[in-house]
Amino acid sequence: MATVRDALAAAGYPALTFDYPYIEEGRRRPDQAPKLVECHRAAAERLGSYVREIVLGGKSMGGRIGGHVADDVDAAGLLFYGYPLVAIGGKVRPLDHLATLDMPKLFVAGTRDTMSPLPRLRRAISVLPNAEAALIEGGDHSLNVPKSVGLSQAEILDGVVQITVDWLERL
């Protein structure tokens, strides 16, 4: 995400990355949702002190938590890299909190992402207001692609940045 953050900033879209407390403390188990939301809200408010409009999002759980904060900080959009529609263990996550949010939403997903299977992602997007998907052919949950795709990870991330910038320009 640091590579994407830096490239977005270079394109004129300041971005902020941060770690949740459990990561900073070296723990593997994520904090409870209220603590994650509190941390994400604080990061969004900090970014809001530097920019006019905030687009919230993140990678996997970070994007999911960003969706819970969007209304609180009056986000202009939501950006999800590898949204975890299916939790580890197979439990399907509800998207009710996103269904009530009118701001534009972009789901950047790999076509091989087992936590965001394409049929489930397409169904989810079809019922969410202002939602669209951008697919990374051959990408997994981390947007990594096999060598057979013929692109380096740097080229994939360049593509992800371009997809993001194109979407941000339409906001």
**How many angstroms separate the CA atoms of 152 and 171, rounded?**
29
Render each residue's pLDDT in the chain as its tens digit; 171 residues: 899 999 999 999 999 999 999 999 999 999 999 999 999 999 999 999 999 999 998 999 999 999 999 999 999 999 999 999 998 888 888 898 999 999 999 999 999 999 999 999 999 999 999 999 999 999 999 999 999 999 999 999 999 999 999 999 999
Contact 125, 133 (CB under 8 A): yes
Domain chopping of the chain, boundaries: 2-169
The number of beta carbons lying within 10 Å of the beta carbon of residue 148 is: 6
**How many angstroms separate the CA atoms of 60 and 90, rounded?**
15
Instruction: DSSP letter for 18, please.
Output: -
Q: For domain 2-169, give the CATH superfamily.
A: Alpha/Beta hydrolase fold, catalytic domain (3.40.50.1820)
Decide: helix, strand or coil at residue 49: coil
pTM, two decimal places:
0.95
- In what side-by-side order are the strands of the sheet with 105-110? 55-59, 77-81, 105-110, 131-136
Residues with Cβ within 8 Å of residue 137, at least 6 apart in sequence: 111, 145, 149
Count the residues in the chain: 171
